[in-house]
Amino acid sequence: MMKRRLGRDGPEIGAIAFGCMSFGGFYGPTDEATSHRALDAAWDQGITHLDTANIYGMGVSEEFIGTYLKRHPGRFSIATKAGNTRNAERRFNNSPEHLRESLEASLRRLGVEHVELFYLHRREQALPIEGVMETMVRFQEEGKIGGIGLSEVSPGTLRRAAAVHPVMAVQSEYSLWTRLPELGLLKACEDLGAAFVAFSPLGRGVFTDVMPDPATFPQHEFRRDNPRFSEENWRFNRIYAERFAAHARERGVSAVALALAWLLNRAPHVIPIPGTRTAEHVADWSPAGDMVLTPADIAEIEEILPCGFAHGDRYNEMQNRGPERYC
């Protein structure tokens, strides 16, 4: 797999990384052995970077990665996150005490003394980002983290943060049906030398060869309350997704690989992080790394999936309380 750099001065990693939210049960039940098989498959495909967070399964994702790394030390670089809480009164906590406590707990679960990248998962608006960055810089100076990341922030917040210290990566949702980052955030990352890490690059399972069926989602599955999968909206979104899958088949590639290739062709600092619970799906990702799309190819894809085609917001009201809105 080709390599991309995590930020201007960060480590080189596989151009496609592994998002480990599924290990925490967000898309249905899983277990340690199944997660470990998925990590074996990722390594075999040339994936070298894992992206997790302390709230994925309330530590379960980190624990599964930790037990894997105990058997395979040094195999993957790790990014994790903190700043979200389960406290109804204070959903986001960016205080120095909370971030330090969260980081220390993550390191214990992962079984490491250092992570390559540590994200502020969501910004707490009551605290100036400059002060939060100073907290993160201290973690870096102590050798606990290699670089600082921000998640779901605006270009303005990124620029304020980078004025304090370089930001290694910014993570936001980005895919063929979520293109908000094109309205300033991708450019800000490029200007400041930050990697742009695209989560949900496959539209939460939409850009695949097997369409999801919202009627079968388990009761507590993340997508069950997502507006784009509501009965009203999915009947439109499915039509677009099926057209894209048919186009991929005509090209002789999978819808998964084509959707990831589209992202990789957007800019050299974009790093998609698809996720899965099972090893079987990992092999679908790697062909994207060798796929070069011409301007005519891009135009054809965007004729099928024009910018803004998605029916429904990407989050419901509850899910949308943390991301910064800037357009």
Cβ(158)–Cβ(182) below 8 Å: no
At residue 166, the 3 state secondary structure works out as: coil
Provide the CATH number for the domain around residue 273: 3.20.20.100
- pLDDT above 90 covers a percentage of the chain that reads 88
The verdict on residue 242 lying in a domain is no
For range 225-253, the mean pLDDT: 96
Confidence of residue 29 (pLDDT cuts 50, 70, 90): confident
For range 146-162, the mean pLDDT: 98
Residue pLDDT, tens place only, 199-213:
999 999 999 988 999
The verdict on residue 325 lying in a domain is no
Cβ(98)–Cβ(85) below 8 Å: yes
The C-alpha torsion from 44 through 50 and 55 to 57, rounded to 10°, is 0
Cβ(92)–Cβ(85) below 8 Å: yes
H helix or E strand, kind and range, residue 50:
strand 49-51
pTM for the full model? 0.95
- What residues pair up with 60 in beta bridges, in sequence order? none
pLDDT score at 289? 86
- What residues pair up with 234 in beta bridges, in sequence order? none
Distance, CA of 161 to CA of 281 (rounded, Å): 36
Distance, CA of 285 to CA of 283 (rounded, Å): 5
Distance, CA of 221 to CA of 214 (rounded, Å): 10
Active-site annotation holder among 56, 68, 119, 174: 56
At residue 315, the 3 state secondary structure works out as: coil
pLDDT score at 220? 81
For range 243-254, the mean pLDDT: 96
- What residues pair up with 145 in beta bridges, in sequence order? 115
The verdict on residue 238 lying in a domain is no
Q: Judge whether residue 87 has pLDDT over 80.
A: no
Q: Judge whether residue 251 has pLDDT over 80.
A: yes
| Comparison of pLDDT for 159 and 224, the residue scoring more | 159
Number of domains observed in the structure of the chain: 1
pLDDT score at 27? 78
Q: Judge whether residue 28 has pLDDT over 80.
A: no
For range 51-63, the mean pLDDT: 96
The C-alpha torsion from 68 through 71 and 77 to 79, rounded to 10°, is 30
According to DSSP, the β-strands at 148-151 and 117-120 are parallel
CA-to-CA dists, residue 27 to 31, 97, 216, 319, angstroms = 12, 31, 11, 15
- pLDDT above 70 covers a percentage of the chain that reads 100
The verdict on residue 252 lying in a domain is no
According to DSSP, the β-strands at 169-173 and 195-199 are parallel
Q: Judge whether residue 118 has pLDDT over 90.
A: yes
Q: Judge whether residue 304 has pLDDT over 80.
A: yes
Q: Judge whether residue 86 has pLDDT over 80.
A: no
The verdict on residue 221 lying in a domain is no
Confidence of residue 327 (pLDDT cuts 50, 70, 90): confident
The verdict on residue 220 lying in a domain is no
- What residues pair up with 13 in beta bridges, in sequence order? 4
Distance, CA of 194 to CA of 303 (rounded, Å): 30
Domain containing 159: what range? 3-207+257-290
The verdict on residue 65 lying in a domain is yes
56 part of the active site: yes
For range 29-58, the mean pLDDT: 95
pLDDT score at 90? 79
The verdict on residue 53 lying in a domain is yes
Confidence of residue 26 (pLDDT cuts 50, 70, 90): confident
| Comparison of pLDDT for 67 and 290, the residue scoring more | 67
